[in-house]
Amino acid sequence: MLIRNCWYVAGWSHQFEAGKPTQRMLLGEPVVIWRTQEGAVVAMEDRCVHRLAPLSLGRVEGNAIRCLYHGLLFDADGRCREIPGQDAIPASACVRTYPAVERNNWIWVWMGDPDRADPSRIAPSKALDDPAWVLKTGELHYRAHYSLINDNLLDLTHLAYVHAASFGADEAWSRNRPRVEPIAEGVRSSRWIVGTPPTPPLGKAAEHERVDIWTSYDFVLPGVFLLYSALFPTGSAEAFGYEAPPAQAPSLFANFTSQAVTPTSESTTSYYFSWGPAAEHGDEAMAQAMIDVAIMAFNEDKTMIEAQQRIIDTDPGRRVMPTSADKAITLFTRLMQSQDG
């Protein structure tokens, strides 16, 4: 089941150039995204009302887009403004449009009821030019249902097994259950991993054989993962009462990642992500090294999840067996399914 009443990431801002209509598949539907002459983002059904040709093969003309099959011209509201050789334009000559917002270097599109499209509900991802962070980007495309990627991000016990070669996580990630709590638009998961090898072994953390790692992430509708992780000298978790470290507490290393899961169809998913160190801990070279490792790790996820999907497809009715690590998955799935109610 695909949920419509949510803001979905259609891609990075730089992927939608002025004067260049670009197609995206969102929830199994073709959408054309283009920019007006002022640079505003427009999202509409990628289907001309005349002969159903893709508008993504058309031409942007100021604040309108022209179908280059038979020349019909549509404004940014989807209304037909010109039919070559015909003066009368039927009122029905309209292309469906979707609310679209450009924020923090992502293009967000609302595929559901436009009256419910509240931009204040867009997830607070980090902008790439945020001076507090040095961020690099990437993306992957899965042949799997989006919920499997969501489940993967909601249960980080897999780090010890799927990512032993990339992130170097040990079994403490599977033994230590996080604190999971509902928040307005999703769930929050936080935990200390105490006395573990530094992951990643970067910055001042590389000088320590063991560290205490604080991780906290919000996973918010419709599948946006916002994780802050910081490494501290051993003993810090106990000193902080195993609660969140004070904002002023100096860390050995800190990093942030924004990740977005977008269903392109019932069986395919796009995955957009940024990652990097706090500006006080790293530079462009370190950020690039981190994103390279992240891409390696996310391809490890992709191999596992696509194989999981193939097994599921052999017996779609087979039920999973939840464990205590699945609390966040359960809470988020219920919230997600309530959005179209």
Domain boundary among 74, 98, 121: 121
Q: What percent of the chain lies above the pLDDT cut of 90?
A: 87
Do the domain assignments include residue 126?
Answer: no
The parent domain of residue 26 ranges over 7-121
Do the domain assignments include residue 259?
Answer: yes
Q: Are residues 23 and 72 in the same domain?
A: yes
Q: Are residues 38 and 145 in the same domain?
A: no
Look at residue 157 in the predicted model and tell me its pLDDT: 85
pLDDT higher than threshold 80 for residue 24:
yes
Summarize the confidence of residues 40-69 as an average pLDDT.
98
pLDDT higher than threshold 80 for residue 121:
yes
Look at residue 160 in the predicted model and tell me its pLDDT: 80
Do the domain assignments include residue 239?
Answer: yes
Domain boundary among 121, 155, 182: 121
Do the domain assignments include residue 253?
Answer: yes
pLDDT in tens, 186-242: 999 999 999 998 877 778 888 899 999 999 999 999 999 999 999 999 999 999 999
Q: Are residues 321 and 201 in the same domain?
A: yes
Residue 164 burial (10 A CB sphere; 0-12, 13-18, 19+)? middle
Domain boundary among 67, 90, 121: 121
Q: How many domains does the chain have?
A: 2
Summarize the confidence of residues 91-100 as an average pLDDT.
98
Do the domain assignments include residue 321?
Answer: yes
pLDDT in tens, 126-178: 999 999 999 999 999 999 999 999 999 999 888 888 887 777 777 777 778 89
Q: Are residues 98 and 168 in the same domain?
A: no
